[in-house]
A = this chain, B = another copy of it.
Amino acid sequence: MAVNVPALEALLPIPGVRIGTTNAGIKQRVRDDMVVMVMDADATVAGVFTQSAFRAAPVKIAEARLDQARALVINSGNANAATGQVGEHDASAVCDAVADSLPELKGESVLPFSTGVIGTRLPVAAMQKGALEAVQRLREDNWNAAAWAIMTTDTVPKARSLRIETDKGVVIATGIAKGAGMIKPDMATMLGFMALDAAVPRAILQPLLKRVADRSFNRVTIDGDTSTNDSLILIASGKGPVAVSGDDDPCLAQIEQGLTAIAQDLAMWIARDGEGATRFVTVRVRGGKTSADCLKVAYAIAESPLVKTAIFAGDPNWGRFCMAIGRSGAFVEPDRVNLHLDDVCIARNGLAALGYEEKDAARVMAQQELTVFVDLGFGNIEEWVWTCDFSYDYVKINAEYRS
Tell me the nearest residue of chain B to A52, going by C-beta. B326
Cα–Cα distance between A315 and B398 once the two chains are bound (Å): 10
Considering residues A81, A227, A309, which has the most beta carbons from chain B within 10 angstroms of its beta carbon? Answer: A309
Q: CB within 8 Å of B: which of A198-235?
A: 223-228
The answer to whether A304 touches B225 (Cβ under 8 A) is yes
Tell me how many chains of this kind the complex includes.
Answer: 2
Cα–Cα distance between A183 and B304 once the two chains are bound (Å): 10
- Asked if A126 CB lies within 8 Å of chain B CBs, one says no
The answer to whether A398 touches B52 (Cβ under 8 A) is no
Kindly identify which residue among B84, B303, B305, B332 contacts A54, using a CB–CB cutoff of 8 Å. Answer: B332
The answer to whether A317 touches B225 (Cβ under 8 A) is no
The answer to whether B226 touches A395 (Cβ under 8 A) is no
Contacts A185-B319, A398-B309; A84 near B228 (Cβ below 8 A) = no
Kindly identify which residue among B53, B319, B398 contacts A81, using a CB–CB cutoff of 8 Å. Answer: B319
List of B residues within 8 angstroms of A325 by Cβ: 53-54
Binds B, one of A34-42, A347-355, A377-385: A347-355
Contacts A82-B352, A315-B403, A322-B82; A225 near B327 (Cβ below 8 A) = yes
Q: Interface size on A (CB < 8 Å)?
A: 68
Contacts A118-B323, A319-B117, A322-B228; A310 near B399 (Cβ below 8 A) = yes
- Asked if A49 CB lies within 8 Å of chain B CBs, one says no
Binds B, one of A61-69, A102-110, A156-164, A386-394: A386-394
Q: CB within 8 Å of B: which of A312-369?
A: 312-313, 315, 317-320, 322-328, 330-335, 337, 347, 349-352
The answer to whether A306 touches B350 (Cβ under 8 A) is no
Contacts A305-B394, A394-B395; A334 near B186 (Cβ below 8 A) = no
Cα–Cα distance between A392 and B398 once the two chains are bound (Å): 11
List of B residues within 8 angstroms of A228 by Cβ: 319, 322-323, 326
- Asked if A55 CB lies within 8 Å of chain B CBs, one says yes
Tell me the nearest residue of chain B to A317, going by C-beta. B402
> Interface readout for A89-116 with B: 1 if CB under 8 Å, 0 if not?
0000000000000000000000000000
Q: CB within 8 Å of B: which of A265-291?
A: none
Tell me the nearest residue of chain B to A117, going by C-beta. B319
List of B residues within 8 angstroms of A86 by Cβ: 351
The answer to whether B317 touches A186 (Cβ under 8 A) is yes
Cα–Cα distance between A325 and B118 once the two chains are bound (Å): 14
Tell me the nearest residue of chain B to A318, going by C-beta. B119
The answer to whether B334 touches A53 (Cβ under 8 A) is yes
Q: CB within 8 Å of B: which of A45-84?
A: 50-55, 79, 81-84
The answer to whether A54 touches B306 (Cβ under 8 A) is no
Cα–Cα distance between A305 and B186 once the two chains are bound (Å): 13
- Asked if A9 CB lies within 8 Å of chain B CBs, one says no
The answer to whether B226 touches A84 (Cβ under 8 A) is no
16 more contacts with CB within 8 A, not counting A54-B337, A309-B395, are: A53-B326, A53-B333, A54-B323, A81-B319, A82-B347, A82-B351, A83-B351, A86-B351, A118-B318, A119-B318, A119-B322, A185-B306, A185-B320, A312-B395, A312-B399, A392-B392
Interface residues of A (CB under 8 A from B): 50-55, 79, 81-84, 86, 117-119, 183, 185-186, 223-228, 303-306, 309-310, 312-313, 315, 317-320, 322-328, 330-335, 337, 347, 349-352, 390-392, 394-396, 398-403
